[in-house]
């Protein structure tokens, strides 16, 4: 396995300018990380909308390439938003073509993995009938994109992300409907909580189909503690934490990753309130300690 970090872990620092793209890659190297997974929106300029395309930002792409050359830290993959429902055919076609352009960007950056959403992150499923109505169209779009990605040697994936296409059953159902060898799952061990699914059970179910694994932790409360907490579908409240400090069973999750035989990129993804660099350094330390404990 190759341990690294998602750029999302550094988002507050990237956003306020206190950490540059180059600084991020240097920091990962200093911590003996092996890769950076880029969440495209974290490198977007202030005020950019959801359809901002990293590939059209020539200066930023060149800075990423230079940082890779300087540090030897590879870009493992890209993570992007996408939406294939609740829109007209022309806009849907543009969404698909936009994802394809990110596949071309993956190839330019030497990244072999692209995670794309299929609906907007905040879109909640009001009734299971909604999913049934939209499912075939979502699978069709994913199939077209993965077929295109295959020409570049890129593996595409969906993640247990947001609320609509989230749950181990839903993303595995989509995986089997698309039925292509280069369409897989990005397995985020914490995000299953957004739909109140047990993270350990869900992670174990999805690991055989994983292209990339995100290690993440959350605090979980049954009553609203105050501002800043995310309400789940079932009315729980979650808040990101340093990996190993939260309420997830971090040792069991790490053991499950090892036991599954997964041997790809593992990304620490921190999204809590603690200072970002401290949280990332501590999270990496905890992950390494837990992997060492599993290895005996």
pLDDT digits (tens, 9 = 90+) for 131-184: 999 999 999 999 999 999 999 999 999 999 999 999 999 999 999 999 999 999
pLDDT band of residue 47 (cuts 50, 70, 90) is confident
- Is 258 found in the same domain as 190? no
- Is 179 found in the same domain as 278? no
Residue 220's pLDDT is 99
| Tens of pLDDT, residues 103-131 | 999 999 999 999 999 999 999 988 999 99
Global pTM exceeds 0.75: yes
Q: How many helices (H) and strands (E) are present in the chain, helices listed first?
A: 9, 11
Q: What are phi and psi of 228, to 5 degrees?
A: 95, -5
Query: What percent of the chain lies above the pLDDT cut of 90?
Result: 96
Number of domains in the chain: 2
Boundary of a domain, candidates 201, 216, 231: 216
Residue 178 Cα distances to 86, 121, 150, 160, 265, angstroms: 21, 21, 13, 16, 23
CATH, residue 175:
3.20.20.150
Average pLDDT taken over every residue of the chain: 98
Q: Which residues contact 38 (CB under 8 A, 6 or more apart)?
A: 6, 7, 54, 64, 75, 77, 78, 79, 111
Residue 249's pLDDT is 99
Distance between CA atoms of 176 and 172, rounded to whole angstroms? Answer: 6
Region 218-246: mean pLDDT is 98
Boundary of a domain, candidates 216, 238, 257: 216
The residue segments making up the domain with residue 60 are 2-216
- Is 67 found in the same domain as 108? yes
Region 75-83: mean pLDDT is 98
- Is 235 found in the same domain as 196? no
pLDDT band of residue 51 (cuts 50, 70, 90) is confident
Distance between CA atoms of 258 and 230, rounded to whole angstroms? Answer: 30
Boundary of a domain, candidates 175, 191, 216: 216
Is the confidence at residue 276, as pLDDT, over 90?
yes
Residue 256 Cα distances to 196, 246, 288, angstroms: 20, 18, 15
Distance between CA atoms of 169 and 175, rounded to whole angstroms? Answer: 10
């Amino acid at each position: 396995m190759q341990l690294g970090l998602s750029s999302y872990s550094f988002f507050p620092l990237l956003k306020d300018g206190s950490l540059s793209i180059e600084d991020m890659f240097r920091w990962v190297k200093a911590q003996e990380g092996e890769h950076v997974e880029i969440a495209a929106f974290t490198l977007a300029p202030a005020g950019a909308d959801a359809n901002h395309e990293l590939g059209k930002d020539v200066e930023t792409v060149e800075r990423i390439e230079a940082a890779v050359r300087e540090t030897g830290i590879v870009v493992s993959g890209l993570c992007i938003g996408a939406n294939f429902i609740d829109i007209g055919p022309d806009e849907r076609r543009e969404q698909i073509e936009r994802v394809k352009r990110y596949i071309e960007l993956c190839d330019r950056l030497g990244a072999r993995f692209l995670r794309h959403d299929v609906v907007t992150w905040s879109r909640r499923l009001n009734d299971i009938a909604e999913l049934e109505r939209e499912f075939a169209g979502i699978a069709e779009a994913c199939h077209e994109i993965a077929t295109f990605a295959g020409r570049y040697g890129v593996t595409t994936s969906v993640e247990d992300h947001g609320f609509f296409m989230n749950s181990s059953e839903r993303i595995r159902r989509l995986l089997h409907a698309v039925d292509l060898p280069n369409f897989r799952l990005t397995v985020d061990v914490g995000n299953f909580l957004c739909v109140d699914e047990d993270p350990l059970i869900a992670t174990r179910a999805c690991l055989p189909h994983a292209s990339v694994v995100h290690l993440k932790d959350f605090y979980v409360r049954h009553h609203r503690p105050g501002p800043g907490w995310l309400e789940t579908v079932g009315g729980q409240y979650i808040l990101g934490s340093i990996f190993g400090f939260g309420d997830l069973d971090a040792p069991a999750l790490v053991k499950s990753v090892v036991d599954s035989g997964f041997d790809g990129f593992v990304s620490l993804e921190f999204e809590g309130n603690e200072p970002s660099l401290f949280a990332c350094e501590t999270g990496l330390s905890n992950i390494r300690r837990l992997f060492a404990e599993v290895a005996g």
